[in-house]
Amino acid sequence: MWQQIKHTVLFSVIVAVLVLSIADASRAQTNVVTKTGTLSDGATYLMQVPVNWNGTLFLYSHGYVEPGAANPAMDVGDPDTGAFLLANGFALAGSSYSTTGWAIHEALTDQIATLDLFDTLFGHPAATIAWGHSLGGIITAGLIQRNPKRFVAAQPMCGVLSGGVATWNTALDAEFAFKTLLAPSSNLQLVNIANPTANFELAEEILAAAQATPQGRARIALGAALGDTPGWFTPTSPEPSPTDFASQEANQFSWDAQIDFPFVFAFRAELELRAGGNVSWNTGVDYRKQLEKSVDRDEVWALYQTAGLSLEADLDTLNRAARISANPKAVNYLEQNIIFDGQIDIPVLTMHTKGDGLVVVQNETAYKDVVDRVDDNSRLLRQTFIDRAGHCAFTPAETIAAVETLLKRLETGRWPSIEANLLNGDAAALGPQFNIFAVGTTIVPTPPAFIDFTPAPYLRPFDAFAHPCFFGVGNDCSQGFSFGETF
């Protein structure tokens, strides 16, 4: 059934892997020992250890894999970065996880099982660094929260660092506005999705029809604004100017049609199945206040004026519409898989592109906020940003420059500067073979694009400080689902 969903999400985007060139596959490491196999729960693993291993292991957590799709074990995000690390004496390891979809529950177990097996096969590493892309970013943060003594540092990249509950609540807000304003009488299901394929196809039909009119485009923009979807889509394109609202909306349409709608209108069903019900709610949400906080607010106002629509009337419609409640047990599952409590006791360096429409850059603010609440844990966290559109759209040079920054922190006990100009210099110095990006099957020379940047607040934060049911504390989790002050 899942394979019937007709969308243009590239597999490389879903799993957050940038396969940068076919030629890279030929860069075999002649002095590397490779081990593959299967864990007890059926997950597969991949380990690569150079003969000159320096004692440090990078444990890689891969991103989301479409339910039922091929799910190979992975130990690095791109082959160029992997080759660089192996050539410099670092070992790599990672598992497939035993299931696809929102596989955080399995991943948190399978990744530790992979570490245990690595100890048996190669010996205990002197240092283990957790890292990963996208869903692998939230898994990375989850691993160090659950197993702090197993790691010395972490590098979550383009990670879902707002946590599972906040992520799916934000998705519900965008879905809710989309259906309420564009197809209120349709059979489109926002939660408790019975037929993912049909539901996704219906959403795409409604979206295409809306994009054909100024009124529809304005309402698409409003739905996008409630998720802070950026108005920038293609990694190799310049960002639209702040007042080019038509281009911004066209890019948001592309995010919806090609990337986001498969997740919110189809893949949500896989999460609901594993969680035992609907994990999201919008009771207590004031959509007028949400729009006021959105980075896309000005775009929405402008497009509504162009379309001759009353934004106030549509916001009234949203705020009067019947709300959606969550299944408390399902929310409890999603809390455990996973939300964050800010308890880090190792250095953590994050990376995110500014124009990420699948895992918006405001995820970084949500994570920083929760870390900052705990003692002086802010001293352990640094965050870097790339001035580029796309999900996990990093060059190998940018990834390696970030890795080297984290390694310097471990070596010296102090953070080196993460000013953009310095990181860009480090990345450029790696040479043209690492400053590249894939556009289809073409490799494009791409200069480093680190930027000094502070994201806006996350629109629907939810963490260990926001809810009494964190990790199952209390049996009645329905209380608090209307925390207006949180929104």
- Taking every pair of Cα atoms in the chain, the longest distance, rounded to a whole number of angstroms, is 68
The domain 2-161+339-451 is classified under which CATH number: 3.20.20.110, 2.60.40.10, 3.40.718.10, 3.40.50.1820? 3.40.50.1820
DSSP labels for 258-271?
IIIHHIIIIIHHHH
Residues 341, 353 contacting (CB under 8 angstroms): no
C-alpha radius of gyration, the chain, whole number: 22
What pLDDT is recorded for position 482? 39
- CA-CA distance, 437 to 346, in Å (whole number)? 31
Predicted pLDDT of residue 5: 52
Output phi, psi for 251, to 5 deg: -70, -35
Q: Count the neighbouring beta carbons within 10 Å of the beta carbon of residue 139.
A: 29
The residue ranges of every structural domain in the chain are: 2-161+339-451, 164-334+464-486
The predicted structure's pLDDT at residue 375? 86
CA distance 280 to 259: 20
pLDDT score at 480 = 37
Distance CA 22, CA 26 (A): 8
Cα gap 475→468, rounded to integer Å? 10
Measured between alpha carbons, how far is 407 from 384 in angstroms, rounded to an integer? 15
Q: Nearest 10 degrees: CA dihedral of 102, 106, 112, 118?
A: -100
At 319 the pLDDT is 98
Distance of CA 475 to the CA centre of its chain: 30
Q: pLDDT tens per residue, the chain (487 residues)?
A: 545 454 434 333 433 333 333 334 334 456 999 999 999 999 999 999 999 999 999 999 999 999 999 999 999 999 999 999 999 999 999 999 999 999 999 999 999 999 999 999 999 999 999 999 999 999 999 999 999 999 999 999 999 999 999 999 999 999 999 999 999 999 999 999 999 999 999 999 999 999 999 999 999 999 999 999 999 999 999 999 999 999 999 999 999 999 999 999 999 999 999 999 999 999 999 999 999 999 999 999 999 999 999 999 999 999 999 999 999 999 999 999 999 999 999 999 999 999 999 999 999 999 999 999 998 899 999 999 999 999 999 999 999 999 999 999 999 999 999 999 999 999 999 999 999 999 889 999 999 999 999 999 999 999 998 755 443 333 343 333 433 333 3
In whole angstroms, what is the distance from residue 333 CA to residue 337 CA? 6
The answer to whether 168 touches 227, Cβ cutoff 8 Å, is no
